[in-house]
Amino acid sequence: MTNWTDFQNFDELWQGLLTEHQKRKGMLKTPTVTTSHQHKPQARTMVLREFLSTPYPTLVFFTDIRSPKVAQIKSNPQITIHSYSPRTRIQIQFYTTGHITRKHPRFQQWRSQGLQRKEDYATVASPSQPTDQLADVTYNLDLAGDNFAVMLCQIQSVEILALGQPHQRCLWNYQNQAWTKQWLIP
């Protein structure tokens, strides 16, 4: 089992995160992603699609460009991403800066991947709009490609809490172009 607080340098932590993400039922598949709207935290589950190492450690998500979180990120790009595994008793928190893109060099590849489920991006009315009846939800699959967008979350810090005897907690911080590990009181 991974000893999440033992990593000595960020590359080791990064490799641990990649390995965890590749596990079919790993704790990083569908984290909780938190934005803010008018000073209120807004949390939702999202599929974490990929980790990018360069130019900065970044988490990649897909979304519908019309969803409220997109406007929230434009007005406040601070995004916190959280996951807890009851099996391993590990909590991971990523503090990130997000932006929405349709211009990244990998965009076409990501869009083809996302459009394997076109209906996720193809409601005729925008996501989160109220509707009187379920039957009123209609889809235009031809619009999915236009609605598809990528959310990139550049990692500023990573906090790990490992429950045990004793609990262990540490914070990885990016400062002066280097990652440093700081132990915290659990």
Ligand X SMILES: Cc1cc2nc3c(=O)[nH]c(=O)nc-3n(C[C@H](O)[C@H](O)[C@H](O)COP(=O)(O)O)c2cc1C
When asked if residue 30 is in the footprint of ligand X (CB under 6 A), the reply is: yes
Minimum Å gap between C-beta 62 and ligand X is 5
- The residue length of the chain stands at 186
What is the DSSP track for 106-136?
THHHHHHHHGGGGGGG-BSSPTT---S-GGG
What is the pattern of x (binds ligand X, CB under 6 A) and - over residues 35-64? -------x-xxxx-------------xxx-
E strands present in 3-147: 32-37, 40-45, 50-52, 58-64, 78-85, 90-101
In contact, 114 and 148? CB cutoff 8 Å: yes
Please choose, out of 67-75, 85-93, 100-108, 164-172, the segment that lies near ligand X by the rule CB under 6 A. Answer: 67-75
Q: Please name the residues in contact with 123: beta carbons below 8 A apart, sequence gap of 6 or more.
A: 64, 137, 138, 139
Task: Report, in Å, the least distance between residue 28 CB and ligand X.
Answer: 13
Q: Which residues on adjacent β-strands are paired with residue 172?
A: 158, 181
Residues 151-180 close enough to bind ligand X by CB under 6 A: none
Residue 148, interface with ligand X (CB under 6 A)? no
Does 102 sit near ligand X (CB under 6 A)?
no
From 7, 27, 31, 67, residue interacting with ligand X (rule: CB under 6 A)? 67
**Where do contacts with ligand X occur on this chain (CB under 6 A)?**
30, 42, 44-47, 61-63, 67-69, 127-128
